[in-house]
Structure 1
C-alpha cells in the first residue's frame, strides 16, 4: 500500500476543492483517509490501493495538483 501525505503551505484555493479533485482522480484505486489544517498550512492523506505502481500514482497526483494550480504549494511525503 502507498500512503501520501500532501502538505500545503499558503494554499490559494479551498482544501475541499483539492480533496474533491483527488477523490475523483483516485476513485477506483485510492481514497482520502485524513485531512487537517493549522496555522498557514493544511494537509491531506491519500491512501493508494495495494499493488498500485507508486511512480504512476505520483505522476497522476502531480497532474491533478498542476491542473488545480497548487503543485508549487504542495510537498509530498510518500511511504509504503
Structure 2
C-alpha cells in the first residue's frame, strides 16, 4: 500500500515527522520519498500489505501524526 501524506503549514521539521513515521512502522514499511515547496511538503510511505492490515496501518499513521500535533495539517492519499 502506498500513502502520500501531504502536510500544509507543518509546524515542525519535516525530518522529525519522517523519523517518527519510520519508527512507528518498523519493519512493516517506511518513508520512501519526500519533498517540499510552495508552503507544503509530502512524505511518501510504502507499507507491506502482507505484513500489516491496511486499516491498522492507516490508524498507526494517524496516531503518529496526532502525537506530533500535526494531524490537522495532514491529508492522506491512499493507493494500492
Q: Which runs of 5+ in 2 are unaligned?
A: none
Give yes or no for the alignment of 1:62 onto 2:73.
Answer: no
Distance 2:70 2:49 in 1: 27
* TM-score, normalisation: structure 2: 0.96
What value does the CA root-mean-square deviation take over the aligned residues? 0.6
Alpha-carbon distance, 1:76 to partner:
0.2
Alpha-carbon distance, 1:27 to partner:
1.3
Distance 1:45 1:27 in 2: 15
Equivalent residue, structure 1, for 2:2: 3
* TM-score, normalisation: structure 1: 0.96
Runs (4+) of structure 1 exceeding 4 A deviation are none
Equivalent residue, structure 1, for 2:49: 50
Equivalent residue, structure 2, for 1:30: 29
